[in-house]
Chain A
Amino acid sequence: MKKKLDVEKMTYAVLAIACFFIFWWFITTFTPAKETTPGPVEVIQLLFTSFFEPIGSHVITGHLLVSLRRVLVGFSVATVLGIVLGVAMGASKWAEAIFKPIFELLRPIPPIAWISLVILFFGIGEVSKYILCGIGAFTNVTLNAYTGAQNVDPELVGCARMLGTSERDIFFRVVLPSCTPQIFAGMQVALSTSWMAVLAAEMVGAQEGCGWMIQRGSDTLNITLVMVGMIVIGCVGMLLAAVMRVIERRLCAWNIMES
């Protein structure tokens, strides 16, 4: 029954993507847009050739790896810091009183707004890029860890106390596991935010990366290149989200209800 439903869903997904490409092809072949906009055939051709003909300094996989490294470093550091800060704010009234106002103040500022300041302080090297990729992820993870830690069932904590569990163990064996599903929800959003921020991070002073490719394309009016960059970012973003879901299923198996 479930298998059948999955197959059905897959069929719809493939059909929807096919329709999108046909629509794109139609627009760029039969309407005036064809003067300016490259069609799917051109874009896919460039995508293929870019695997062995370098764009700038790298072939496309090189750019992809560079961007992935930036995103993963920024995301990982941001996640660790976010979990620490968020759980601290949720578990301790003091940490909440001290950090919450600053956090609430900084939270609405989008990562792009930070570009100049980050470059001013950290230069145009890799560190700036890690930071720009990490900012959005940090707010997401912090916020989720915070709500997660706030909503830990007090009965579970009382129960652990009755069993003779030390406060330190209660933190690691009750509070932290209780918030993992929420933290994971935050990490999923955070990973896509980081991946989206790669464009901003590579806008200034970068010589490589997927964001740089798009930037270079729009500087040289090479719309085909812009589109190749977009497709790569889209596909890899989708893959990253899928990987996160697999990890979540592993780590939060206890929280998944099967119908």
Chain B
Amino acid sequence: MEHHGELTPIISLRHVGKTYMSVHRSNEVVRDVSLDVAENEFVVLFGPGQCGKTTLLNLIAGLQLPTAGEVYVDGKKVEAPGPDRGVVYQTTALFPFCTVMGNVEFGPKSRGVDKKTRRERAQYFIDLVGLQGFENSYPNRLSGGMRQRVGIARAYANDPKVMLMDEPFGHLDAQTRYMMEAELEKLWQKEKRTVVFVTNNSEEAVYLADRILILTNTPTHVKEEVRVDLPRPRQYSDPAFLAIRRRIEELCDDTL
């Protein structure tokens, strides 16, 4: 299968804009964003803090609605949240009253998948993210990295068409972060999905992305796109890697 290119895109934004209205003022956060993401492509949205990355992701998720333009996922216009899109939050947002197993099987259970099937499926992803043995633990007993693994397994177990990840490793310490990046990449190689990944860490962007979209400050739009064609798994100290990193940082800096 082609990696990206002529296939019909699975995510498609057409002249999308978002303006937050309040009584006192209106705040235009996203302006005229058009982009396509091909099936099984790993796209990173890279932009400065507070530039509207989360807003853009929420528009694809359907958690917020655009004030201009349209968002299509798999050919259908996005008008509400739905299980064809999986979300991994920076804050993890695990259900604190569910065990690890309860969290991972939450989606399939909601959609009426029978117990045996959903347990097997949940167990598969729990094993895949390396949490075997913690099935019956509650989230408040887990470390930050482990919680993020549960979040990823939960999104995967619901079998979404596209994965939306909002700085999932933003709160982790550097060491855990490297480990999680490597594991996410392995997981993605094994269970190919379309991923839209938000970050403001250039190293993370270059390590993971097929394609990096550089966003400007608010009102945000796509300033540039940078393809990363390095073989995986990538080496952080590889000169080509560092060159791309420098390039996207400069592009991003110019926008400040």
The residues of A with any CB-CB pair to B shorter than 8 Å are: 153, 155-156, 158-166, 169, 173-174, 177-178, 180, 253-255, 257
Which of B11-19, B81-89, B182-190, B195-203 lines the interface with chain A?
A: B81-89
Is A162 in contact with B97, judged by CB distance below 8 angstroms? no
CB distance from A120 to the nearest CB of B (A): 44
CB within 8 Å of A: which B50-83 residues:
61, 63, 80-83
- Report A-chain residues with C-beta under 8 Å of the C-beta of B98: 177, 254
B89 and A164: CB pair below 8 A?
Answer: no
Whole-angstrom distance between the alpha carbons of A164 and B83 in the complex?
Answer: 5
Task: Tell me if B117 is interfacial: C-beta within 8 Å of chain A.
Answer: no
Is B236 part of the binding interface, using a Cβ–Cβ cutoff of 8 Å?
no
Bound-state Cα–Cα, A163 to B163, Å: 12
- Sort chain B's interface into a size bin: 20 to 34
A residues less than 8 Å from B61 (CB atoms): 162
Q: Which of B82, B96, B111 contacts A254 (CB 8 A)?
A: B96
Residue of B nearest to A178 (CB): B97
Q: Is B138 a contact partner of A162 (Cβ separation < 8 A)? A: no
Residues of B in contact with A (beta carbons under 8 Å apart): 61, 63, 80-83, 85-87, 89, 91, 93, 95-99, 106-107, 110-111, 138-140, 154, 158
A164 and B158 in contact, given A156-B93, A254-B97 (Cβ under 8 angstroms): yes
Set A156, A161, A162, A255: member contacting B86, Cβ < 8 A: A162
- The smallest beta-carbon distance between B182 and chain A, in angstroms, is 26
Q: Which 9 A-B pairs have the closest CB atoms?
A: A164-B83, A163-B107, A165-B110, A161-B81, A177-B97, A254-B138, A155-B93, A162-B81, A159-B93
Q: Are A166 and B81 in contact (CB under 8 A)?
A: no
A164 touches B111 (CB 8 A): yes
B81 neighbours in A (Cβ, 8 Å):
158, 161-162
B-chain residues with CB within 8 Å of residue A169 when the two chains form the complex: 110
Contact yes or no, B97 A180, CB < 8 A: yes
Known pairs A163-B106, A164-B107; list 19 more (Cβ under 8 Å): A158-B81, A159-B95, A160-B110, A162-B86, A163-B83, A163-B154, A165-B106, A165-B110, A166-B110, A169-B110, A173-B106, A173-B110, A174-B95, A177-B95, A177-B97, A177-B98, A180-B97, A254-B139, A255-B96
Complex Cα gap A163–B82 (Å):
6
Given contacts A253-B138, A257-B140, A164 and B110 within 8 Å (CB-CB): yes
**Within 8 Å CB of A163, what residues of B?**
83, 86, 106-107, 110, 154, 158
Which chain A residue shows the least CB distance to B140? A257
Shortest Cβ gap from A166 to chain B (Å): 7
Bound form: Cα–Cα A164–B154 in Å: 12
How far, in angstroms, from A257 to B138 measured CA to CA in the complex? 10
- Most interface-central of A163, A164, A165, A257 (chain B CB within 10 A): A163
Contact assessment for A155 and B89 in the assembled complex, using a CB-CB cutoff below 8 Å: yes
User: Knowing A155-B93, A156-B93 touch, does A164 contact B140 (C-beta < 8 A)?
Assistant: no
- Considering the chains assembled together, what is the distance between the CA atoms of A178 and B99 in angstroms? 14
